[in-house]
Amino acid sequence: MRADAKRNYDRIVEVARVVFREQGYDASLDEVAKRAGVGPGTLYRHFPNRDALLDAIMQSWVDRVDEAAEKALTHEGSPRDLLLAWFEEYVRLISLHKGGPAKITSALGDPDSPILTKCQVLTRASDRVVDRLRDEGALKDGVDTISLCRLVGGVATVADQSELDEAAVRPLLEVVADGMVK
Amino acid sequence: MRADAKRNYDRIVEVARVVFREQGYDASLDEVAKRAGVGPGTLYRHFPNRDALLDAIMQSWVDRVDEAAEKALTHEGSPRDLLLAWFEEYVRLISLHKGGPAKITSALGDPDSPILTKCQVLTRASDRVVDRLRDEGALKDGVDTISLCRLVGGVATVADQSELDEAAVRPLLEVVADGMVK
DNA sequence: TGCTAACCGGAGACAGTCTCCGTATCGTGG
DNA sequence: CCACGATACGGAGACTGTCTCCGGTTAGCA
């Protein structure tokens, strides 16, 4: 990639991260281009569509997922507390920007999703938590990773759309945790 | 209201109900107008914006909510089963069209929502179920109606966006129910 | 039947998405 | 060091959807 192209690419991703956080996933791409100091043509050549841009934004995010899972797994305490700690990390991770929780959660089961690989990272991290708890015999039968992701993703989606703060989200996560542990 | 105006009003609502179900809440309003055989001006005079139209569509829906609550309350069986029966009705009720669960659930806490009164009907119905279960001492402390609506709304939102069928939704609702009953 | 208030609906302003293509720039090979 | 081909840039504009304005039409009453 030519030096000027790389410069523009990086600049667009950086600006898009800010704009998506400020205005949500529906923000105008022409505005992203304008704020990045490039023409719309440039933006659309690098990123054929909105999802491609999101995918690039999430590139650095992947590392944080594994860190978060690691951190949650070191959590001392009851299975319920471990689960809750992971839930809270999970919600934080997928609440990248307005519309993020919905976007990511609906991509979970979609093999054609442009952010599929990103979601798999998240699923695998949840897998580790589920495996650990299952080994301890702490989970109800029938509880699996995909259910966990959907339930917590659902809570995060509602929180995102209703602009709930952490204090309001916590009791919802507690219900989900209580419903999953034996 | 003049007879011709009423005719158009009714026709638009009827067509919008179909189009929203087919294409989701984001469907083009100009298309609704076209299919109703009126100009866009007529549609927008009757309904200043998309939400006003949704509000009109939901008018007849209100009756079905109370019926559904009634039906759930007659349910014989354990508190968990009653709760589950109501959850399933709830999901069905708010899954009017694509985007419906998200729309309705996010309107729950918004006093300025254009469909506020419709949501209150839903909240009140859930209240009846919660009161009944609380009287029986079957609910955990801290569980309230708004939490119920948000959790089940979250599940319905995910189901809507991921196009899950009833069989896939059921285990999610079971987790929520288990987390709420003692 | 004639009048007037109410209603109709198309033209068009505006915003966002995305493409095309002439122009400008990079960086390499001579 | 320069010239040239490959690559990238970005603005003009086509297209779609939202919503408004207003000239023309019509319902319904006297």
Question: Can you give the CATH number for the domain in which A10 is found?
Answer: 1.10.10.60
Chain A residue with the nearest C-alpha to that of B163: A106
pLDDT-based confidence at A135, cuts 50/70/90? very high
Q: Does residue A74 carry a pLDDT above 80?
A: yes
pLDDT-based confidence at B110, cuts 50/70/90? confident
Across the range B147-162, mean pLDDT stands at 97
Provide the Cα torsion B125, B130, B133, B138; round to 10°: 150
Share of chain B above pLDDT 70, in %: 100
Question: Can you give the CATH number for the domain in which A145 is found?
Answer: 1.10.357.10
Q: Does residue B99 carry a pLDDT above 80?
A: yes
- Distance in angstroms, CA of B72 to C1' of D19? 43
Domains of chain A: total: 2
- Distance in angstroms, CA of A104 to C1' of C12? 39
pLDDT-based confidence at A171, cuts 50/70/90? very high
Q: Residue B10 contacts by C-beta under 8 Å, 6 or more apart in sequence?
A: none
Q: Is B103 helix (H, G, I), strand (E, B) or coil?
A: helix
Tell me the residue range of the domain where A30 lies: 3-52
- Residue B10 shares a structural domain with residue B67: no
- Residue B80 shares a structural domain with residue B43: no
- Residue A77 shares a structural domain with residue A105: yes
- Residue B83 shares a structural domain with residue B146: yes
Q: Does residue A114 carry a pLDDT above 90?
A: no
Across the range A9-15, mean pLDDT stands at 97
| Residues of chain B found within 8 Å of residue A110, distances taken between Cβ atoms | 162
Please tell me the distance from the alpha carbon of residue B57 to that of residue B51, in angstroms, as a whole number. 10
pLDDT-based confidence at A123, cuts 50/70/90? very high
As a three-state string, the secondary structure of A111-161 is CCCCCHHHHHHHHHHHHHHHHHHHHCCCECCCCCHHHHHHHHHHHHHHHHH
- Residue B53 shares a structural domain with residue B69: no
Q: Does residue B1 carry a pLDDT above 90?
A: no
- Residue A114 shares a structural domain with residue A36: no
Chain B residues with CB within 8 Å of chain A CB:
102, 105-106, 108-110, 140, 142-143, 147, 150-151, 153-155, 157-158, 161-162, 164, 171-172, 174-180
- Residue B113 shares a structural domain with residue B65: yes
Q: Does residue A32 carry a pLDDT above 90?
A: yes
pLDDT given for residue A26 in this prediction: 92
pLDDT given for residue A166 in this prediction: 97
pLDDT given for residue B54 in this prediction: 92
- Residue A21 shares a structural domain with residue A104: no
Please tell me the distance from the alpha carbon of residue A177 to that of residue A80, in angstroms, as a whole number. 6
